[in-house]
Amino acid sequence: MSLPQLKNILRAPTFYRLLSTSTACQKSQSGRYRITPRKDLPLTYEMANPPHQIAHRKTWNSINTSNLEGGLRSSETAIEDIFIRKFMTGTWHALFLSEIIIKRQHNIIRIAGIVRRSVSARKMYFLIGYTEELLSFWLQCPVKVELQTVADRRDVVFKYI
Amino acid sequence: MMNISKVALRSRVSRVKLTSQLAGLATTPDEKIEIPKRVPRGPTDILRALESTVGRDPTAAHYKYHDDPYLIPLSNNGKRVFALSQEAGRKAAHWIRREHADLFQHREADPTIEAFVPPMVFDEKSEVAVTDLQKLIKTAQVSDAVVVYKLLKEKGAEVAPELEQGLLELVCYQNCEDGLSDEFIEEKWFKQSQKGKEKLRKTWKDGDFAEQLFMNLPNKTPEAYCAIIQGMAKYYQVDRAVQLFEEAQQNNIPLNTNTYNSLISAVNIMKESFDLRWSLVAQFLNQMKDAKLKPNLGTLNAILAALSSMGNPVGARKYALMTLSQFRELGIEPSLGSWSLVLNTFYKDRGPVSTILHDIINLVENKEHQIRDLKDVHFFVTAMETCRFYLNDVSLAKRIDRLLHHGENYNLIGDSYKESVYYRHYFALLCANLPIEEFMNDVYYKLIPHIYVPEPALMAEVLNQVDVNGAIEYVPKLWSDLVIFDHAHRENLIEMVLNSMTNNEELLTPELNEKFATVGWDIFSRFDDQDSYKVSRMKVALSGDFLGKILLLLARNKEFEKACCVMEKLDRNQQSIAGVPKVEALDKFVDLCIEEKAPSRAIACIQYCVDCGYGEANAMAVRLHKKLTLDEVFLDKLTKIVGDISLAGAKDSV
């Protein structure tokens, strides 16, 4: 241990803060789920696979080319994707059972996911029409919603931990 | 696509020529390789070529619906509701964008895409310019255009005469009303066309903006006269239209062909009898001749439309043929709309049946038709209707259907109402005339449910054909379809299903027996379950006859428990159930009870028979007594029901 560091430690406490400017990686925590004592936390297939399985056992939730070399609008794409996810979970309240998958091809955005059949089909159609139209006004490109429905939320459970 | 194949063909032909010549070593020096001319392509040609390879898949729902079992509509109501719900959602989004226009002012795309930008809102305080008016007229936004025009006038801005003419044409065409936006196609598709109902009613808005604008025009051009007369004639304000027409004639204002056309189509309101109407048509045509105007397709259709709704079918037919031949000489080819009007003229309820439809189909077959007149969308439905009601000709119907599916002709089907009427006629015609197996395999399974969902009357027709032909193997499928299509609460259909299941006993197989019992039990439980009874629109309870038939079906398949349920219901609700079951069903049930060794059930049934007044109760009692050894209690009961004598006789005979 060098002398200045020792000095610092031995110094009397002052109003003194440290700032880390690099992003926290938290590699051992993010995208993973902790085992519960009762082993009753339901996980979908997507949740059950930790991030290092992306492109092996599961795929990305946002599929676009903005982060490839020469890709355009990478920061805008990320912000828009967050907006879309928040919009979807809010508009389709407590209906989505899966992650919201956002696929971009040319100028089209396709939003996919699995929803519960807890509202009638006609309400679902209303929401589809509303979502597609409002998001396309907001993002100013064609937006399509591609849903699959399941009868029960347990249908998407892959395992319990 | 066609061009590509042509080119390929041509080059192949020339190659074949070349090789054959080489083989024969007979090369002539003047033989040249023909290089095909370059075909100019548009930006979307490749997409069109690809699209032409994809047809309608009858096993899948229309692509406007979501491809998910829960979201695929199977009944007519479902199709309508789902598509319109989605459009309602889109409208909600439009509303939000309009209400919060300030939030939607960002510009993502360069150049800006107009469709994503909130619409301009105009009121008394808006700052407007002439270009706004120009844009509004171009996009046919009637009420906004009117507001902007008034604002411009107030401010004293100079509006060019061409712009005023454009505005006048717009308001005359739309009758000062905003039309349905192109954005909402489902609403257009599902809107029941009201035109037929209010056909001859004046809907022109008297003294509204169109007339004011016309009156205030500083110099009234011939175009202005044309616009206002056409508008009035279109919305049946015929008196004023004629008045303006005469005014124009007196002042030597030249009018165009379309104005005459609109007046000709309104002839039936102006005059009463056939002769007067026809002479008026002739008068207009002569005036056109004097004005040296060349008639067009609109003229032809206007004349035919006038003729089709005149009385006197004989005269109308004669004049229709004359008109057609004259227009052929003029080189004006009739559109599909003209043919549908000809059909209306030739096929009336009275009079001999004409065969002109064959000639028409010969003319229009194997061609791709474009829309050339608004009436063109009536052709297919009229042709199929004629085919069903007057000609009853399957091969002709198939030719019409082939024409409809040729190229992009399906665009001419009109709207959802016309489409379903078209298929109703086609379906009914085939149902009545094809062998039942062929009908079910080629038509029913193909068209239903994604392309067409039959109405209750047509389902009755199909059930009837199935019953008549003894093709009872289709009944379970038809019943499940009835349930899906929301027809399962209709008494006449239930009756037909039950009848065809019970009547054709000689055709039964064990498999069918089982299926029929399931269907019977399904019908029974649908009515028995009080909750679903309220939810579904079942008005009536099952009658005694229906219950008897269900009992028979269950007894045939030896489903004792379920049969007992039905019997109990019959027995318990004797007062409330209308009618009584047939005795065969009860007889069968007693046999089943004997087989299952359940004398108490059998005795209850015999009691019920006696209550209903069936003489066969005695025979049943005897049979029960014979087949089963009854203890004292049961014997006592039986004696009480049918009396001593018969039992004694039975005992003797045993």
Confidence (pTM): 0.82
Q: Is B130 on the interface with A (CB under 8 A)?
A: no
Which burial class, exposed, middle or buried, applies to B114 when counting CB atoms under 10 A from its CB (0-12, 13-18, 19+)? exposed
Which among B112, B116, B151, B113 has a CA at the least distance from the CA of B132? B151
Q: Is residue B380 within 8 Å of residue B412, measured between CB atoms?
A: yes
* CB-based contact A122 B82, cutoff 8 Å: yes
DSSP-H helix ranges across chain A: 3-10, 45-48, 74-91, 121-139
Helix boundaries (H) for B504-579:
510-528, 530-535, 544-556, 560-572
Cα separation, B618 vs B637, whole angstroms:
13
Q: What is the mean pLDDT of residues B247-258?
A: 89
At B537 the pLDDT is: 55
Query: Which CATH number applies to A33-160: 3.40.50.1470, 3.30.70.1350, 3.40.50.1220, 3.40.190.10?
Result: 3.30.70.1350
More confident residue, B447 or B630: B447
Task: State which residue of chain B sits closest to A80, comparing Cα positions.
Answer: B108
Q: What are A's interface residues with B at a Cβ cutoff of 8 A?
A: 117, 121-134, 136-141, 146-149, 151
B92 touching chain A per CB within 8 A: yes
Torsional sign, CA B93, B99, B105, B110: positive
**Which tens digits make up the pLDDT trace of B325-359?**
999 999 999 999 999 999 988 888 777 788 889 99
pLDDT value, residue A84: 96
Q: How large is the ipTM?
A: 0.84
- Which neighbouring-strand residues pair with B556? none
Distance between CA atoms of residues B174 and B551, nearest Å = 62
B89, B106, B113 member nearest A127 (Cβ): B89
What band does B616 get if pLDDT is binned at 50, 70 and 90?
confident
The pLDDT of residue B541 is 66
The DSSP 8-state label assigned to residue B439 in this structure reads I
In total, the C-beta contacts within 8 angstroms joining chain A to chain B are 78
Band (B611; pLDDT cuts 50, 70, 90)? confident
Q: What is the pLDDT of residue B515?
A: 87
Q: Which residue from B minimizes the CA distance to A134?
A: B93
Least confident of A20-29, A68-77, B107-116: A20-29
Confidence grade of residue B199 (pLDDT, cut at 50, 70, 90): low
CA distance B62 to B79: 9
CB B340 within 8 A of CB B383: yes
Q: What is the pLDDT of residues B465-523, one digit of tens each?
A: 988 888 888 989 999 999 888 888 888 888 888 888 888 777 778 888 888 888 888 88
Question: Is residue B650 over pLDDT 80?
Answer: no
B111 preceded by cis ω (within 30°)? yes
What is the H or E stretch that residue B288 is in? Answer: helix B274-290
Q: What integer pLDDT is reported at residue A108 of this predicted model?
A: 94
The answer to whether residue B21 scores a pLDDT higher than 60 is no
Question: Any idea what DSSP says for residue B354?
Answer: P
Q: Which residue has the higher pLDDT, B450 or B648?
A: B450
How close is the nearest chain A Cα to the Cα of B89, in Å? 4
Whether B89 and A124 lie within 8 Å, measured CB to CB: no
Q: For residue range B284-317, what is the model confidence (pLDDT) as tens digits?
A: 999 999 888 899 999 999 999 888 888 777 888 8
What strands lie across the sheet with A62-63, from one edge to the other?
Answer: A62-63, A101-105, A108-116, A143-150
Q: What is residue B529's predicted lDDT score, i.e. its pLDDT?
A: 65
What is the arithmetic mean of pLDDT over B231-259?
89
Q: Count Cβ atoms below 10 Å from residue B524 Cβ, excluding itself.
A: 21
Cα–Cα–Cα angle for A78, A79, A82, nearest 5°?
A: 90
Instruction: DSSP letter for B442, please.
Output: I
From the CB of residue B501, how many other CB atoms can be counted at a distance below 10 Å?
Answer: 28
B97 touches A134 (CB < 8 A): yes
Provide the H-helix boundaries in B176-273.
185-190, 209-216, 222-234, 238-250, 257-265, 267-270
pLDDT tens per residue, range B157-194: 888 888 889 999 999 998 888 888 878 888 888 887 55
User: What's the pLDDT at B195?
Assistant: 52
CB contact under 8 A, B93 and A134: yes
What are the pLDDT digits (tens) for B520-540? 888 888 777 655 555 555 556
Measured from the Cβ of residue B641, the count of other Cβ atoms closer than 10 Å reads: 20
**How is chain A split into domains, by residue range?**
33-160
pLDDT at residue A97 greater than cutoff 90:
yes
Pick the residue with more confidence: B638 or B235? B235
More confident residue, B635 or B240: B240
Average pLDDT, integer, range B404-431:
90
